[in-house]
Amino acid sequence: MDAVRPMRADARRNYERLLAVAARAFAEHGENASLDDIARRAGVGSGTLYRHFPNRQALLEAVYVGRIEALAARADVLTGELPPGEALVAWLGEMCAVTIQVRGLKALLGSAVADGGAVVTACGTCLKDAAGRLCAAARAEGTLREDVEAVEVLRLAHAVATASELAGGGEEQIRRYLALVVDGLRGDSDSGSGPG
């Protein structure tokens, strides 16, 4: 297989300008910001944008990859500071808060954990790995049900962020909705056997 050739200087400048403009556009208008407008504001044609980023998902991921990686790294920090179940809940709370605060990120995270999605993103892999480590530790501790998968926990966190945003998007809403979800995920005997 041939080695990937480095980007020409002008292509690198276009790429970086597109990322900077896209970050501002997503912050202003959310994930549905016009890609044609992003290209125009960056001073390039739409074809140049699509050569670098074949779809909206690829552009969102490029803009937010640093935030996603930092969020995934927090899983390991929290694991070192808290018992496994508490680390999982704290991490999910942080993920919900960031998802609400950073416009456009919710769409990216939703796509990253979608069931059977055609696009497998680096961001999705990064988050699933972090959630997998946290969930495995919480299962071993007995504070997470054995049948709960990491991707399910991520999907539920996405739902918590959405519900919290609808209710005002504050920390109080995040804590409340997350507590309701976590109660259903507990592996201890206090949680009961669920509806039936």
Q: CATH 1.10.10.60 spans which residues of the chain?
A: 7-54
Assign a CATH topology to domain 7-54.
Arc Repressor Mutant, subunit A (1.10.10)
Q: Is 28 helix (H, G, I), strand (E, B) or coil?
A: helix
Q: Give the residue range(s) of CATH 1.10.357.10 domains in the chain.
A: 57-188
Residue 115 DSSP class: T
Residue labelled with tokens 């399910």:
152
- Per the structure block, which two tokens stand in for 138? 């919480």
Rounded CA-CA distance 36/192 in Å is: 53
Residue scoring higher pLDDT (188 or 131): 131
| CATH classification number, 57-188, choose in 3.80.10.10, 1.10.357.10, 1.10.10.60, 1.10.3720.10 | 1.10.357.10
pLDDT band at 3 (very low <50, low <70, confident <90, very high): low
Give, as one character, the DSSP assignment of residue 45.
-
* Alpha-carbon distances, residue 54 vs 16, 58, 59, 130 (angstroms): 16, 7, 8, 27
pLDDT digits (tens, 9 = 90+) for 128-183: 899 999 999 999 999 999 999 998 999 999 899 999 988 887 889 999 999 999 88
CA dist 76 and 96 (Å) reads 17
